[in-house]
Amino acid sequence: MEANSDKELRITLIGAGTIGLSFAAFHLSHLPAPSQLTIYDTRPNAEEYIRDNLTKFFPNNDAPISISDVRVANDLQEAVVHAHIIQESGPENLPFKKELWAEVEKHANKNALLWSSTSGIPASRQAQNMQDKSRLLVVHPYNPPHLMPLLELVPSPETSEDVIQRTQTFWRARNRVPIHIHKETTGFVANRLAFALLREAVHLVDSGVVSVSELDSIVETSMGPRWAVAGPFKSYHAGGGTAGLKGFFKNIGDTVQACWSDAGTPNVGDGWEDKVFAEAREVYGTVDIAERDRITHRLLSVLEEEKGKKDHDNGRST
C-alpha cells in the first residue's frame, strides 16, 4: 500500500474550506491523478457545498476527473480507512488537530501519509496524542495550493525520514516544489520572509514615505518579477559579479547595514492599522482574485516551461 503506486492512489482530504478545496482542485487536475478522492467535512449539506464550490475551479467544466466522482464522506473512519494519503486542512486549532490525528491513527493504514496544511501549529504539538508520532508531517502550501508550486515540509523531530521522502516524491512527480524545512520554526519560512518585508512596508506607509498602492507598485515592478526568476541570495550573488555574494556585501554592505539599522519595527496593535487598512480598502475595494490567479498562472507556466528546458538541457528527464 504505497502512496506512489501507479495503480491505486486513494487520497482523503479532511476539511473543505478554502485550502482543502484548492488542494482538491489540485489533485483533480494533476497527473498522476488519484484513483479515488474523498473529502470529509462536518458542515451541514457538505456534499452540495463541496460540489458547488469545486465546480468554480473549473469554469469551463474541464475538470480532468469528473467532480461527480469525488466521494464525500461524513464519517471519519470510513473516510480514512482505505486512504494512502490523508491531508488535513481543518481549523487552525490545536485541540481539534490533536484529537483528529489520534482518531485518524486508529483507523488509517499504518503506511498512510498523514499531512497537515497548518500555517502555524507544529507537527510536534499536533502529534501529542498519537501513538506513533513519526507519521505526521506538516505540508504547508502557499495560497492557493492549486496554483502555487511551493510546499513547505516541516517535520517534527520525530517525523520519520521515510515519510519526508515519500512526500517529496509525491509532489515532485506532480511538478511541485516541496522544500524540507530542517527545524520547526515559528511561521515556518515563507511567511517569516514575507512578514519581514511586510513589517518594513507597514513602517514605510505609516511614516508617510509611500502610500499602500505605491508600495505595492514598487514590489510588483522590481523584486516581485526578479525573485520569481532568482531568489534573493542568487540575485545578490549575481549582483556581486565574479566576486558573488561576498562582492555584493563588499560593494554595498554599508547600505545594507544602514537600512537594517534604520528598519522600522511596528507591532500588531501599535495603532498603524486604521490608516493602512482604510487605504487598502480605498484603493483595492474587493480584489478580483480570479483575475490575479489567471495572470499568476500565466507567469508560472512560463517559469515551468523554462525549468523544463533547463532540466532537458542538463540531460535530466523533465
Verify binding: residue 164, its own copies, rule CB under 8 A: no
C-alpha dist (Å) from residue 29 to 24, 66, 120, 133, 268 = 9, 10, 27, 31, 39
Which helix (H) or strand (E) is 160 found in, with range?
none
Q: Are 238 and 230 in contact (CB under 8 A)?
A: yes
Shortest Å, Cβ 150 to its own copies: 4
The nearer residue to its own copies, 1 or 256, going by C-beta atoms, is 256
Among residue numbers 26 through 45, which ones bind its own copies (CB under 8 A)?
A: none
Q: Give the nearest distance from C-beta 156 to its own copies in angstroms.
A: 14
Q: To the nearest whole angstrom, how small is the minimum distance from the Cβ of residue 12 to its own copies?
A: 26
| Residue 299 binds its own copies (CB under 8 A) | yes
Residue 1 or 198 having the CB closest to its own copies:
198
| Binds its own copies by CB under 8 A, chosen from 295, 308, 311, 318 | 295
Would you say 65 or 179 has its CB closer to its own copies?
Answer: 179
Residue 192 to residues 121, 145, 164, 203, Cα–Cα distance (Å): 14, 18, 22, 17
72 binds its own copies (CB under 8 A): no
Q: Give the residue, chosen from 4, 64, 256, 318, that forms a contact with its own copies under the rule CB under 8 A.
A: 256
Residue 249 φ then ψ, to 5°:
-70, -30
Q: Tell the smallest beta-carbon distance from residue 205 to its own copies (Å).
A: 8
What is the strand order of the sheet 113-116 is part of?
71-73, 36-40, 10-14, 85-88, 113-116, 136-141, 150-155, 177-180
298 binds its own copies (CB under 8 A): yes
Number of chain positions touching its own copies (CB under 8 A): 102
DSSP state of 142: P
Q: ω into residue 144 within 30 of 0, thus cis? A: yes
Q: At closest approach, how far in Å is the CB of 318 from its own copies?
A: 16
Give the x/- contact pattern for its own copies in 129-158, rule: CB under 8 A.
-------------xx----xxx-x------
Peptide bond into 225 cis (omega under 30): no
| Pairing, β 71-73 against β 177-180 | unpaired
Among 267, 314, 316, 317, binds its own copies (CB under 8 A): 267
Which class for 136: exposed (0-12), middle (13-18), buried (19 or more C-beta within 10 A)?
Answer: buried
Touching its own copies, residues 166-225 (CB under 8 A): 177, 179-183, 185-187, 189-201, 204-205, 207-210, 212-225
Backbone angles phi, psi at 85, to 5 degrees: -135, 130
Q: Is the separation of the CB atoms in 11 and 37 below 8 Å? A: yes
Question: In the complex, what is the shortest distance from the CB of residue 90 to its own copies, in angstroms, rounded to a whole number?
Answer: 15
Among 43, 125, 172, 281, interactor with its own copies by CB under 8 A? 281
Residue with cell 502550501: 141
x/- string (CB under 8 A) for its own copies, residues 103-132?
Answer: ----------------xx------------
At its nearest, how many Å lie between its own copies and the CB of residue 299?
A: 5
